[in-house]
Amino acid sequence: MTRKSRIAALLAVLVLAGLAGGWAVWWHVAAGRFATSIDLWIAARRAEGYKIEAQRDPIEGFPFRLKTRIAAPSAAAGDGSWTWSGPDLAIDAPAWSPLSIGFAMPGAHRVLAQGHQYEVEAKTAEGLLSLATDGRLDRFRLTAGGISAQEPGRGAATIDSLYATLGQPAPDASAAIAASLAFDLGAETIALPPDPRLALGATIDHVAASGRLEGPPPRGFDAVSLAAWRDAGGAVDLNLMGLAWGPLKLSGSGTFSLDDQLRPLAAANTSVQGATETLQAVADAGLMKSGDAQLAALGLALLADGQGRVKVPLTAQDGELRSGPLKLAKLQPIVR
């Protein structure tokens, strides 16, 4: 080997060693950011009043991945109105993008809400969590499948698949009421336990909703928490909602909140297919008088287009659900 060749080889070794050393330094910096982002997010939720239990393992995965595990995680509302506990949470991110965090948590989950306990099993459950540098949830994406949920002593409900995308918009000082959460949710083939009150059948083919939550999110689903959310300007703006359940096919958009008695307060524009069949099914189940169903079906048939679609404006106010002057149902407080 000539002298020039030896120098070139030595330089190559030095460059590679420098790159390796630089990458090792970068990996440890990224691991620190990765750990800090997780800890910041947990601390922020605790500061909001939520009870979070999360024991994080040391960061591993050198040289290209950042991996950790949170053993037996759990979360609860500050007032105890709901709790959740689940299986170990596996977390993984590329070293070059430590704030884009993948996670997986298939297995058994336990949910307690409003005095009811649910045992949930998910064959698959994985997603992506993108955090902003200030610890804000920039984007959350979850997909799950093969889901069963059961309350002790009752039949199980199953869901073939579901997805949820959530995000916290960046703070907007000009907004009168800040949007605290943007969402896009959906589920396919929901099989409910048999119940004669399910006039449209025990299988919901599709349900979806996308929009945003206005105002700070409620701390729980009890009357006090929901009233505080309402008083702070809380509302749900739905850009799109969809439902396919038996003969009923519904889509639309609207705004929803709660009145002073915690009854639904809403204004929505919907498009409905299968209205006649739906009304007949409701009457057959004894949930509506047959004469009222026939009269409503006749009126809707006159408004239908060539494909059987009916544009139906809906309002919920003063404890009544109405479509124009037609009273459809009496509304009760969603909690007491």
pLDDT digits over 100-121, tens only? 889 999 999 999 987 889 999 9
Looking at the DSSP assignment, which residues form a beta bridge with residue 204? 190, 245
- What does the pLDDT read at residue 7? 57
- Whether residue 87 lies inside any domain: the answer is yes
Asked if residues 173 and 262 have their Cβ atoms less than 8 Å apart, the reply is no
Q: How far apart are CA 198 and CA 23, in angstroms?
A: 60
- Whether residue 335 lies inside any domain: the answer is no
Question: Which amino acid belongs to residue 270?
Answer: T
- pLDDT-above-90 percentage for the chain: 40
The CB-side HSE value for 335 (13 A sphere, CA atoms) comes to 13
Q: 145 pLDDT exceeds 60?
A: yes
| Reported pTM | 0.81
Q: 167 pLDDT exceeds 70?
A: yes
Q: 20 pLDDT exceeds 70?
A: no
Beta strands 107-113 and 116-131 are antiparallel
Q: Kindly state the average pLDDT of the residues 114-130.
A: 91
- What does the pLDDT read at residue 147? 97
Number of domains, the chain: 1
Q: Kindly state the average pLDDT of the residues 152-175.
A: 83
Q: What does the DSSP 8-state code read for residue 291?
A: H
Beta strands 116-131 and 100-104 are antiparallel
Q: How far apart are CA 215 and CA 231, in angstroms?
A: 9
Q: How far apart are CA 255 and CA 80, in angstroms?
A: 28
- Whether residue 336 lies inside any domain: the answer is no
Q: 287 pLDDT exceeds 90?
A: no
- Whether residue 210 lies inside any domain: the answer is yes
Instruction: Output the CA torsion sign for 43, 48, 54, 59.
Output: negative
The mean pLDDT value of the chain amounts to 85
Alpha helices in the chain (DSSP H): 3-47, 223-231, 275-284, 290-303
Q: Kindly state the average pLDDT of the residues 89-98.
A: 89
- What does the pLDDT read at residue 107? 95
Asked if residues 65 and 94 have their Cβ atoms less than 8 Å apart, the reply is yes
Among 178-192, 224-238, 316-330, the range scoring the smallest mean pLDDT is 316-330
Nearest one of 46, 100, 36 to 75, comparing CA atoms: 46
- Whether residue 89 lies inside any domain: the answer is yes
Q: Kindly state the average pLDDT of the residues 233-246.
A: 94
Nearest one of 178, 171, 146, 143 to 159, comparing CA atoms: 146
Q: How far apart are CA 133 and CA 140, in angstroms?
A: 15
pLDDT tens, residue by residue, 241-263: 999 999 999 999 999 999 999 99
Asked if residues 67 and 89 have their Cβ atoms less than 8 Å apart, the reply is no
Give the range of the structural domain holding residue 130, as residue numbers without chain letter.
3-330
Q: How far apart are CA 222 and CA 317, in angstroms?
A: 21
pLDDT tens, residue by residue, 47-79: 888 899 988 999 998 888 999 999 999 999 887
Question: Cis (ω within 30 of 0) for the bond into 325?
Answer: no
Count Cβ atoms within 10 A of the Cβ of residue 227 and give its class: 0-12 exposed, 13-18 middle, 19 or more buried: middle
